[in-house]
Amino acid sequence: EAGVTQSPRYAVLQEGQAVSFWCDPISGHDTLYWYQQPRDQGPQLLVYFRDEAVIDNSQLPSDRFSAVRPKGTNSTLKIQSAKQGDTATYLCASSLGGSAETLYFGSGTRLTVL
């Protein structure tokens, strides 16, 4: 069974540039999460979906970040105008029915904003 797939693996930007991250969850997993993990910190939830619906995006900086999951499968997280403070690893995870017991993470996208 394929795991959670993320791309790109790395991204390096200048401040003000835009970037998109892509996630392909485990087949059949209805719940998809995006986490931000700054260096030497734990992951912090940005947004999560159940199928195509956003369940919680309260921690997503809405002025510059957006996330979609239009068909309830793959998802894209976009940063419109990156800042140095956005430097972090962006993790995607998926689970079945929101259960922590079936939660699997992707390898992440490591973003550096210069």
Partner 1 sequence: EQQVQQSPASLVLQEAENAELQCSFSIFTNQVQWFYQRPGGRLVSLLYNPSGTKQSGRLTSTTVIKERRSSLHISSSQITDSGTYLCAMERTNYGSSGNKLIFGIGTLLSVKP
* Residues at the interface with partner 1 (CB under 8 A): 31, 33, 40-45, 48, 50, 55-56, 91, 93, 98, 100-101, 103-108, 110
Length of the chain: 114
Transcribe the chain into DSSP letters. Answer: ----EEE-SEEEE-TT--EEEEEE--TT--EEEEEEE-TTS--EEEEEEETTEEEE-TTS-TTTEEEE-TTSS-EEEEESS--GGG-EEEEEEEESTT-GGG-EE---EEEEE-
Closer residue to partner 1 (CB): 41 or 112 = 41
Nearest approach in angstroms of CB 15 to partner 1 is 24
Tell me whether residue 12 or residue 18 sits nearer to partner 1 (CB atom): 12
State in angstroms the smallest separation of the CB of 16 from partner 1: 27
Residue nearer to partner 1 on the CB measure, 25 or 43: 43
Q: How far is the CB of 81 from partner 1 (least distance, A)?
A: 27
Whose Cβ is closer to partner 1: residue 70's or residue 100's?
100
